[in-house]
Structure 1
Amino acid sequence: MLEEWVHKGTPKQREYLHQILVAEHESRQDSRRRRLLKAARLPALKSLTGYDYSAVHFPTDYGRQALESLDFITHAQDLVLYGDVGTGKTHMASAPVAAACQQGIPARFYTTSALVMALRRAKDDDRLDKELASIAKNQLIVIDELGYLPIDTEGARLLFQVITNGYEKRSLVIPTNLEFSRWGTVFGDDNMAAAVIDRLVHHGRLLQFRGESYRVKTPS
């Protein structure tokens, strides 16, 4: 029907209709981007433009271009950002979330403690499946501060479920100050930790951060 009426219109009418449709499309896309950014729950809006990579050591087969292009999301690859406190891990994890939302890709930022708390509440309210399904709608999930606070056995199992459910389906970015050998202290079980690590490294990269905390270098 649209094609039929387009041919009936004058050139100026067709141009006007085209402008209306383009404006409507752009408006919807902008609304979607704003909704995704709000749903992402970022602690702060970050970008990798001007990011200081001096503390970051990339694997030999992975670099800035692959990170900034968001190619790892397309291929459901994971990133573990491991290293010293205050060297930019959270910033690097947050920026791809914002960039993904700008491209219309659903993404979500959690701290480990907030995620575990949300999962525990959902389990107590008998809506765990619904909560997991909501999390699974995101193509990128950040789980920040892994290892900063202790997790009980139930919380560890719930976190394990999120990570394993995402295997080869969506990208995880996990900033942590714990080397892999100590992840058993987080999950309370070395076998569970080993299973998590095995999944993350299968299609993932380890980026190491070394240096002095920027909070120490630039005190307020």
Structure 2
Amino acid sequence: MLADWAERGTPKQREYLHGLLAAEVESRQASRRHRLLRAAKLPVLKTFDGYDWTAIHFPPDYGRQPLVDLDFLEQAQNLVLYGDVGTGKTHLAIALAAAACNQGYRARYFTTAALVMHLRRAKDDNRLDKELTALARNQLLVLDEFGYLPIDAEGARLLFQVIADGYEQRSLIITTNLAFARWGTIFGDDTMAAAVIDRIVHHGRLLQFRGESYRVKNALMK
């Protein structure tokens, strides 16, 4: 039908109609990107522009280009950004989440401690199932500062539930300065930690960060 009506128009009319429809599509896409970025609740907006990649050691079968192309999202793969404090783990995680939103993916950012508190409040208010369903709608979940603060037994179980529910369903980005061997201290249970690691590494890659803290290197206080 649209093609039939287009044939009836003059070249100028068709040119105008094409421009109008293209502008409408771009407006809708821009609105969607804005909604997704707002829903992701990123603490700040970060991009890859000017990012220092020199601190990152990639796995042999993976590199910078497939990472920024977000190919891991298509296959619901995970990323563990592990290493020294201040070497760009959080910046990269946020930039990846922002890029995902700009490409139409649903993403959500939490510090690990904030997610645990969020889930605990939901459980206390008898709406845990609703919150877990809302989290499950995201194609990417970022857990920042994993292992920076202690988690009690109930919080560990809630965190385990989120990670287990997302297995092979969505991508997970974890930033941490703790090696896998120390994850038992996070959950207070080596068996639970082993189950979490098993799910994450099955479809995941480890990016290691080494170097001096950017904040210390550029600090006013010496």
TM-score normalized by structure 2?
A: 0.95
Q: State the 1:15 CA deviation.
A: 2.0
Shift, 1:59, TM fit = 1.1
Point out where structure 2 has 5 or more consecutive residues left out of the alignment.
Answer: none
Structure 1 alignment gaps of length 5 or more: none
1:126 partner SS? coil
TM-aligned CA deviation for residue 205 of structure 1: 0.7
Residue number in structure 2 paired with 1:123: 123
Q: Which residue type is aligned with residue 60 of structure 1?
A: P
What secondary structure, in the 3-state scheme, does the structure 1 residue paired with 2:151 have?
coil
Q: Structure 1 residue 81 and structure 2 residue 81: aligned?
A: yes
CA–CA distance in 2 between the matches of 1:39 and 1:85?
A: 27
Give 1:164 shift: 0.9
Counterparts of residues 99-178 of structure 1 (less than 5 Å): 99-178=99-178
Matches within 5 A, 1:63-78: 63-78=63-78
Partners of 1:89 and 1:25 lie apart in 2 by 35
* Structure 2 residue 182 is matched with structure 1 residue 185: no
Q: C-alpha displacement at 1:92, in angstroms? A: 1.1
Q: What RMSD over aligned residues (CA atoms) do the two structures have, in Å?
A: 1.2
2:12 maps to 1:12:
yes
* Alpha-carbon displacement from aligned partner over 1:167-187 (angstroms, at most 9, x marks no partner): 111110000011111111111
Greater alpha carbon shift after TM alignment, 91-100 vs 13-22: 13-22
Instruction: Give the SS at the match of 1:145.
Output: strand
Task: Tell me how far apart the structure 2 counterparts of residues 2 and 155 of structure 1 sit (CA, whole Å).
Answer: 56
Whole-angstrom CA distance in 2 between matches of 1:88 and 1:160: 26
Letter in 2 for 1:210: R
Partner amino acid, structure 2, of 1:29:
Q
Per the TM alignment, residue 20 of structure 1 is displaced from its structure 2 partner at its CA by 1.3
- Which residue in the other structure is 1:217 paired with? 217
Per the alignment, in what secondary structure is the counterpart of residue 51 of structure 2? coil
Distance in 1 between the 2:177 and 2:125 partners?
A: 32
Q: Give the letter for the 1:63 counterpart.
A: G
